[in-house]
Amino acid sequence: MKLCHVFRVFVLSLFLLGFQGVQAEQVTPIENKADSALLLNQLITAKSTADKTNLINMIAHSNLAQRAEVLNALQDGELYYTKADDQLVYAYPHPDGYEIRSVIEGESLGVIGSRKVRKISINNELRTLLRGVLAELSLRSEDVGVRLAAAKDLIRSPAPEFLPAIERAKSIESSKKVLTSLNIASAMINLNSDQQVLRLDAIEAFRGSLDSDAMSILAGMQLKDDDGNYREEDELVRESAAAVLSEMRAEAKIYKLVENVFFGLSLGSVLLLTAVGLAITFGVMGVINMAHGEMMMLGAYTTYVIQLLMPNYIDYSIIVAIPAAFMVSGLVGIVIERGIIRHLYGRPLETLLATFGVSLILQQAVRSIFSPLNKSVTAPSWLSGSWEINGALSLTYNRLYIIIFSLIVLLLLVFLLKKTFVGLQMRAVTQNRAMANSMGIRAGWVDALTFGLGSGIAGIAGVALSQLTNVGPNLGQSYIIDSFMVVVFGGVGNLFGTFFAAMSLGVANKFLEPFAGAVLAKIFVLVFIILFIQWRPRGLFALKGRSVED
């Protein structure tokens, strides 16, 4: 057993003495924990910079599971060894000294006095080496996301010591997105070269890229210092940078337009979800429901409660919240219709006042139950983050899913109204109440179900809104006016008109905001709708219904 131990030390020593600058594709096999300990413990005995350089390369290009953690700790000054038994440990400051953890075993060893451990020291040369080695470790990861994040970090902090690792990573990289980022990172480094050819090649490498850091650097080359001299003295390099920058900015403007359209459609999708329920209660039934915003609020609070009941299943809670919010808001809507609104049909002003009073009651009830403070709803992991298409365009997943979700809700509602028996009864009562009654349709219950359907869809809108903003008692008030504008502009009771109005108003708002601001943009939209209604009182797509006939 001792002979085997001596042989392992001998083999590791050969590696340390004979292999300088190990290449990325060479891997030192570490077969068991004993081999790991033999390799890592060399950090304790290595004294010279040359020995530590060889050892760092050995660890980096081995198959040690903890290699990245060890090298990070060495770089951050958290790698120590105990004086009593020469045990390699991670050490973190503690009021009584250091809290230590075994490097080999990974277990906590408690707290030890500061005099009982000694740091494994490194100099600036080794720190530079470690930065390059750690960058290469990330670039060799099997996870594409880790490699992409590492490449983007190199773009943000380019340094000459990273160039060899970048070039080796480029030779074996399979992901086009990662390779593009690596090319930009190497160009960033070569841009500081003394050779004009390398600098011109680096600028050309930016062509077709929309990286914001690259654009900032190229723009900086066109600036002058306090003495009126260009920061970039080489005229040929400066002109090349100006030409590439001009192309990048022109392309970025196109993607900025696409991004504005996307954000406009996402806002339009929110308006569609909030207005499609109102298109039924107001557009079809002729009821001015000022409590519609509170139906959204109930849906948002239902989402919050579902998350409280499912703390370990946040990713699935929103799927449960959608039908739950529909049921809660729909049932409350039926109660409101049966208790109040059915006595006020044909009296729109009294209906408005009654539903406004209901909205105040619901707001106060929520304040009493949940407190007046806003509540935060955690977004599922699959709704977090963004889909980055390039440096100038990224689409957030939550808005992308809301666009898809709103279209699904609209299509299901159209199917319900056009292809089901319940939808047929709703349309019959809406178009000719007396004839529907004579055919045996219970118009009163159809009214209740129709109002409940509109309220339930508002509850679903609240689920979507909970992913974009905090949940509070006044949540619905921010969207009720916009919802009425969408319904009136699109045409009362027409779902296609509601869809077109929501999307067009959402896009118009997003294009007006950069020039006029959020408040003035809404005012312009409101003035436009007022003028439009003067020309077409029934909106874009008029639909015959009880409210129109009356």
Same domain, 188 and 96: no
In this structure, is residue 238 part of a structural domain? no
Task: Output 14 or 360, whichever has higher pLDDT.
Answer: 360
Q: How many domains does the chain fold into?
A: 3
Same domain, 399 and 297: yes
As a whole number of angstroms, the distance between CA 82 and CA 91 comes to 10
Give the relative orientation of helices 124-139 and 49-60 as an angle to the nearest 10 degrees. Answer: 10
Confidence band of 543 (pLDDT split at 50, 70, 90): low
In this structure, is residue 244 part of a structural domain? no
Tokens for 473, please give them: 């008692």
pLDDT at 486: 84
Domain boundary among 61, 94, 122: 122
Same domain, 86 and 196: no
Same domain, 225 and 275: no
DSSP string for 448-463: HHHHHHHHHHHHHHHH
In this structure, is residue 202 part of a structural domain? yes
pLDDT at 5: 45
What CATH number does residue 375 fall under? 1.10.3470
Same domain, 20 and 109: yes
Which string of b and e fits 129-158 if b means at least 16 CB within 10 Å? bbbbbbbbbbbbeeeeeebbebbbebbeeb
Q: Percentage of the chain surpassing pLDDT 70?
A: 91
Same domain, 118 and 149: no
Same domain, 172 and 274: no
222-276 pLDDT, tens per residue? 877 777 777 777 788 888 888 888 888 888 888 888 888 888 888 888 888 888 8
Task: Output 466 or 534, whichever has higher pLDDT.
Answer: 466
Q: Is there a contact between 403 and 269 (Cβ–Cβ < 8 Å)?
A: yes
pLDDT at 361: 92
* DSSP three-state, residue 470: coil
Same domain, 200 and 272: no
In this structure, is residue 46 part of a structural domain? yes
Q: Which of 4-8, 382-386, 450-454, 503-507 has the lowest mean pLDDT?
A: 4-8
Q: Is there a contact between 267 and 469 (Cβ–Cβ < 8 Å)?
A: no
As a whole number of angstroms, the distance between CA 305 and CA 466 comes to 12
Average pLDDT over residues 511-528: 77
Whole-number average pLDDT of the chain: 81
pLDDT at 321: 92
Same domain, 211 and 278: no
As a whole number of angstroms, the distance between CA 81 and CA 91 comes to 9
Ranked by mean pLDDT, the top range of 190-204, 355-369, 536-550 is 355-369
Same domain, 36 and 177: no
Q: Which domain holds residue 11?
A: 2-122
CA 103 to mean position of chain CA atoms: 36
Tokens for 211, please give them: 């990286």
Alpha-helical segments (H) within 65-211: 67-76, 124-139, 144-156, 163-172, 176-190, 196-205
Tokens for 525, please give them: 């939209």
Same domain, 417 and 530: yes
| Side chain identity at residue 477, one-letter code | Q
CA 47 to mean position of chain CA atoms: 47
With 80 as the cut, is the pLDDT of residue 498 above it? Answer: yes
With 50 as the cut, is the pLDDT of residue 16 above it? Answer: no
In this structure, is residue 130 part of a structural domain? no
In this structure, is residue 248 part of a structural domain? no
Confidence band of 7 (pLDDT split at 50, 70, 90): very low
Domain boundary among 122, 157, 184: 122
pLDDT at 378: 83
Q: Is there a contact between 409 and 277 (Cβ–Cβ < 8 Å)?
A: no
Confidence band of 24 (pLDDT split at 50, 70, 90): very low
DSSP string for 479-529: HHHHHHHHHHHH-TT-HHHHHHHHHHHHHHHHHHHHHHHHHHHHHHHHHHH
In this structure, is residue 245 part of a structural domain? no
In this structure, is residue 127 part of a structural domain? no
pLDDT at 46: 85
Same domain, 96 and 215: no
Q: Percentage of the chain surpassing pLDDT 90?
A: 7
282-331 pLDDT, tens per residue? 766 777 888 888 899 999 999 999 988 888 888 888 899 999 999 999 99
Map tokens 């508002």 to a residue. 458
Contacts of 544 by beta carbon, 8 Å cutoff, 6+ apart: 431
106-122 pLDDT, tens per residue? 888 888 888 899 898 88
